[in-house]
Amino acid sequence: MKEYRFSLEEEEYMAFSVAHAFHTPQNKRTMLVARALLPCIFLIIFFVVVNRNVSMEAIKGVTGAILLVASLWWVVFFERIIGKQLRKNILKLKKAGKLPYEKNTCLQFHEDHIMNITPDGELKIAYTKIENIIIVPSAIYIYINVAQAIVLPRRVFANVEDQAAILRLLEEKTGKIPKRRGK
């Protein structure tokens, strides 16, 4: 049995929330639609302005330019904007004392299951129930279902070999190949 005790940092949970929002298959389509929606609305507005009997071509040109710049800005900075909003929502939850994660965790890797022990209780997870394993620069996300994951910070490992051993164990027990995301 391998055991890791750690306190999940706020920034680690925020990084997970952003990664989950943008990179899980369930959310990718939603984010794509959200990213494309505002430019589509701007395009409709532009065609309404162009089709009106506005005699000044300058107004049409300026309107088109403004809407084009706004659309490009939205598409380019979409992830940053949504990421900031997610972070603000988490900070609001923190102020209200309703964090959506447990700070102090003991994670035990047994022969046939993972035990997630927090101050609120214990959760026994069979390896066969793990749906996905994602490796990012700062953590390993062990998805229990499409909306919930265990965040295992990479800082808890004694060395690279220790981390590699856990990844091999997870791959062997779950049959899932860990996927790398990020740099």
The model's pLDDT over 118-132, given as tens digits with 9 standing for 90+, comes to 988 999 999 999 999
Residue partners of 42: CB distance under 8 A and separation at least 6: 67, 68, 70, 71
User: For the residues 150-161, what does the mean pLDDT come to?
Assistant: 93
Closest among 154, 164, 145 to 107, alpha carbons compared:
154
Q: What is the pLDDT of residue 181?
A: 82
**CA 15 – CA 3 distance, rounded (Å):** 23
Give per-residue pLDDT as tens, 19-47. Answer: 887 777 777 788 888 889 989 888 888 88
Q: What is the pLDDT of residue 136?
A: 92
User: For the residues 51-61, what does the mean pLDDT come to?
Assistant: 70
CATH class of 2-8+101-180: mainly beta
> Does residue 115 carry a pLDDT above 80?
yes
CA angle 97–131–139, rounded 5-degree value: 55
Q: CA 147, 13, 94, 102 torsion: positive or negative?
A: positive
Residue ranges, CATH 2.30.29.30, the chain: 2-8+101-180
Q: What is the pLDDT of residue 54?
A: 60
Residue partners of 113: CB distance under 8 A and separation at least 6: 124, 125, 126, 127
Q: Which two tokens stand for residue 163?
A: 């981390």
Q: What is the pLDDT of residue 92?
A: 84
Q: What is the pLDDT of residue 46?
A: 80
User: Considering the chain, what percentage of its residues have pLDDT values greater than 70?
Assistant: 96
| Buried-state track 139-166, b at ≥16 Cβ within 10 A, e below 16 | bbbbbbeeeebbbbbeebbeeeeebeeb
Of residues 97 and 128, more confidence is placed in 128
Q: What is the pTM of this model?
A: 0.76
> Does residue 96 carry a pLDDT above 70?
yes
